[in-house]
Amino acid sequence: MDAVTYPDKKVIDFVNKNYIPLQIPFDAKPISADFNIKWTPVLITLGADRQEHHRSVGFLDPDAFISGSLLGIGKYHFDNDRFKEALGYFAEIISAHSGSDSVPEAIFLRGVAHYKNTGSPASLKEAYETLSNRFPENEWTKRAYPYRLL
């Protein structure tokens, strides 16, 4: 990722705007053990409390890096009950990174975050319908399967 992803201008701008980056070798003790890092690259989205909200293992091109990072930030807000903020990140992934592997999870979490924010179960059913139409075999479609009954 040092040769392709990290030097990319979009990635540099994204990281500078959204993260306090820390790059460590996979064998740097104790931090690698604390976060169960066995191989690189591993990208972990942490909160100020050092709680992990998202993890990605393996090479990511610049677009996958950004969409996966947006997912991590959205999950950080989701995990901290800031559903309106989370919805913005999930919506950005779905609209601006529509070809990304992060989209199915973002659709699922958008439905759940909207439900948690409003109490309306219609968003859960809509998430399932969107997933089943766009990603019929995806694991997030399978996880949303019960929502079809709403």
Tokens of 21: 């980056």
Structure confidence by residue, pLDDT tens digits, 43-93: 999 998 889 999 999 999 999 999 999 999 999 999 999 999 999 999 999
Which of left, alpha, beta for 36 (phi over 0: left; psi -120 to 50: alpha)?
left
The SS3 of residue 71 is: helix
Is domain 9-149 annotated with CATH 3.30.70.260?
no
Using CA atoms, how far residue 101 sits from 20, 46, 47, 63, 107, in Å, is 24, 21, 23, 10, 11
Q: Are the CB atoms for 47 and 19 separated by under 8 Å?
A: no
- Is 24 or 84 the better-scoring residue by pLDDT? 84
The end-to-end CA distance of the chain, in Å, is: 43
CB 142 within 8 A of CB 131: no
Integer Cα distance of 74 and 91 in angstroms: 10
pTM of the model: 0.93
Is residue 1 predicted with pLDDT exceeding 80? no
